[in-house]
Every structure is written in structure tokens, then in C-alpha cells.
Structure 1
């Protein structure tokens, strides 16, 4: 089998393809090193010349074919292209080509028509240029389509997050767990106030900090609603809670620590160091008179409050 015959069979195209049909030329355009190129064997078939003669003509006019017009494939690039277009290596070493193919960019192909100097070369180059233009349009359309698809995916992801949040709020509402930023209890609503405070205490997963100047055993009844293993620190200026009270509580609901401080006037309840409530009455008196419970929604204020309590805890732990 001659060199030209072997290459005609490995051109990745049937001999029935019309050389001047731009639509049929497009499958012969490949991407190598980030550029759209055509291989020498495919160009030789289209120009109706032997591959060696095509490359010889380009080599004789090397000054017209810089590296961005024409370059020789590496062995790895050649093997990758063969796998991509399904070209066999069986013919190599037994009459097939013994050198790596050359790739011609769009500019290099345009230069070939002048070097080959034939009517076929001119007409074929026109068809090839049209094929390159059509390919660029296709790539541009695909890029725009991919961009739209990415936009749709991003919108769907945002919609999913928003929908999940809405469903989460609905489920929490059904379970009676919706957090209201502000609650007011009027005189006599002692059970309702106790129930809410006990529910808040039960939400903590690691630690509870309570700032209340008037803590006694009634306050401990609310703190006893915490989860097992949740540590409690009480910051108080009063003396109604004795060490015996603390010891009895810790015997069943460890661990409670009391810090004596007179730095606070208002009452605060902080859960896990991140969720803080401002409470208008001492926990032991909740519901006896009208009072309010406010969720502190400023994360910076909550962080500042926690830092202040940690400093007090280091200085005055009992």
C-alpha cells in the first residue's frame, strides 16, 4: 500500500465526501493546543495531492508558515487525535507514514492556496475557510448556550435554597418551633412564660449563659429543662441561690456554675454562645407582671456580650 493510499484511508472521511462541501469539511477540523487545525493528510486529500508533496511545498516556503500557521504534532498529540477520531495505527511500519503529521491553522491553510497554485487549491481553500467560519459560529453558539445553562443552574440552585428555607419554616411552624423575634407576656401568664423559657433552655446543645440579678431555686426549675450534658453558667449579683442549691442541682443536672457580678442591670439568656435573648423580668418572676422577651438579631452585639461574660467568668467563677 502506497503512502498516499494509506493516508487516504486514515483521513477519517469517506471518498464519497465532496471536497467543496463546507459542511463535510467541518468534521476534519480538530482542536490542538487550543487552536482549530486540520491535519496534513486531510488537506492533501481535499487538495487532491499527496501528503508528502503538500508538506514539501510548505517546507520550501517555510518563511510563509510560522509556528502559528503550521506545527508538527507530538507523539502524544497524535495518539490522542487517533483515539478521538478512531484512526488505527495498524498501517504504521508496513507502508504507512513514518513521521508525525503536521497541523495547519486557519491562517496556514489560507497560505497553502497560494503555495500550491492550482484552481483546486483555490476553490478548496474557500470551502475550508467557510467551514472554519461555520465552526466558529457553532462554538460561539455553544458557548452562549453553556452560559445560559450555567445561569439556569445557578437560578435553580438559588430557587432550591429559597424553597428549602420556605419548607423549613413551614415545617417548623407545624411543629410549633417558629421563633418570634419579640414576645410580650401580660400579668398572670406565668405558665405561658414558663413554657417558653423552658423551651428556649431546651434548645441549647452545648452551653447556656444566664444573666439575672435575682436567681433562686425557681430559676433552677427552668434551667432543669436543659438537655443532658449542657453546661450552665449563671451570672448574678443576688444571694438567694446558695451553694447547697447549686450542689443539689448538679447532683441531678450537671453542670451549673455561678459567677457573682454586679455589672448587669438587665437579664440575658445566651444559647451556645450564638443566640441571645433580652428578657425584661427575672426568670423566677416571669409572668407575674407584664414583660417582654426579645431575640437579639445583631450578631455583633451577641458576640460582644459573650466576650464580656467570658471575661467575667475567668475572674469570678465560684
Structure 2
């Protein structure tokens, strides 16, 4: 499975990168219900920093994003059979009153050990790599932002220095112009006294 497809299933909820249970079930090729039952049977392996259930409001916001993405794909392709890869069949069948579980990176890793299938292990490795790539990209993005801020600071300093130089040049030009005007006035003055 392409890593990009996995990355598209990683969401930021409560300031954490997470994957939703139905997306993981789709990746691991199991039913969402079976995945959640495996988690419940092994609840001691999933502390609060590994898994949490979305609130109704969070779920409504997520669903509105999925519907919007689906609508955009349908309209963009002008094909009524197309739908967003975010809208999985597992999600469509889901009881809307039951909110999904969100698995953090650690929860996703633990999930592979609970499911114990060869496919789950392979997908877990791919998912962990996707999380690592996201972290790497975030660090690179942060470094670029810091460099841009440094450039802004330096440009601000250079702007101040350039403004002082421009001011000094203008003062010199003003002084020179004033001096030339005085000299021209002196040369062009009406002379009095003896004329040659």
C-alpha cells in the first residue's frame, strides 16, 4: 500500500496524530467490530495515551470533512461512482451514534501485536513508517520556518541600515545642492564696481 494513502488517513485530533478504528480495520483487512473487540479483550495493552474515543462533536466534525472530501472527488471527476478514499465501507455502515476510537502511533503499534496476523504486522510497519515520515517532515517544516524568521530579522536589520544610508545620501545631496545653489547665486550675482 502506498505510504501516501496511509498518511492521508492520519488525522490530528486533540493535538495528537491518530488513525481512526475504521481506517485501521480497512488497512488490516478486518472488520471494524473485530478490531474493536480485540482491543477490548486486551484493554490493559491500550492505556489512554494509546487510544481514546472521539467525542460526538469531534466525530461530527470528522464526518463533515469526509463528506466534503467525497463530494469534491465526485464533482471533480464528474463520476457518481467515485468517492473519497477516506469514506470507507466500514465507515458508511457504522452506527452514527457510536463514535470511533482514535489510535495514537503507540496504539497502532500495539494493535498489530493484538491482531497477530501477518498482514497486520506488515501494515503496522508501514503505518509506523508513515508516522515517522510525518515527524521528519514536521521537523523540516519547523526548521524552514525558523530560517524564514531569521531571514526576516536580518532583513529588518538591513532595512534599518539601508534607511540610514539613504538618509545620509539624501543629506549629502541636499548639502551639495544647497552649496551649488549658493555658488551659482554668487557667480550669477549682479556685479558692482569696475567692469572689464
TM over 0.5: yes
Q: Which residue of 1 aligns with 2:193?
A: none
CA distance in 1, matches of 2:57, 2:160: 45
* 1:156, distance to aligned residue in structure 2 (A): 1.3
Q: Which residue of 1 aligns with 2:101?
A: 102
Q: Which residue of 2 aligns with 1:153?
A: 152
Unmatched 5+ stretches in structure 1: 1-17, 177-318
If each structure's strand is expressed as a fraction of its own residues, which one has the higher value?
A: 1
Q: Which residue of 2 aligns with 1:128?
A: 127
Unmatched 5+ stretches in structure 2: 71-88, 176-196
* 1:22, distance to aligned residue in structure 2 (A): 2.5
Cα deviation, 1:37-87, whole Å, max 9, x if unaligned, reads 111111010011111221121122111111100011223333444455545
CA distance in 2, matches of 1:158, 1:80: 44
Q: Which residue of 1 aligns with 2:20?
A: 39
CA distance in 1, matches of 2:11, 2:172: 59
Shift in CA distance, 57/157, structure 1 to aligned 2, threshold 3 Å: same
* 1:24, distance to aligned residue in structure 2 (A): 2.5
Q: Give TM-score, length-normalised by structure 2.
A: 0.70
Q: Give TM-score, length-normalised by structure 1.
A: 0.45
Cα deviation, 1:173-217, whole Å, max 9, x if unaligned, reads 3334xxxxxxxxxxxxxxxxxxxxxxxxxxxxxxxxxxxxxxxxx
Answering whether residue 145 of structure 2 is matched by residue 164 of structure 1, we say no
Shift in CA distance, 78/58, structure 1 to aligned 2, threshold 3 Å: same
Answering whether residue 106 of structure 2 is matched by residue 113 of structure 1, we say no
Equivalent residues, number = 156
Cα deviation, 1:213-262, whole Å, max 9, x if unaligned, reads xxxxxxxxxxxxxxxxxxxxxxxxxxxxxxxxxxxxxxxxxxxxxxxxxx
Shift in CA distance, 114/97, structure 1 to aligned 2, threshold 3 Å: same
4+ residue segments displaced more than 3 Å: 79-88
* 1:138, distance to aligned residue in structure 2 (A): 1.1
Structure 1 residue aligned with 2:33, among 27, 52, 66? Answer: 52
**RMSD between superposed Cα atoms in Å:** 2.6
Shift in CA distance, 79/169, structure 1 to aligned 2, threshold 3 Å: farther
If each structure's helix is expressed as a fraction of its own residues, which one has the higher value?
A: 2
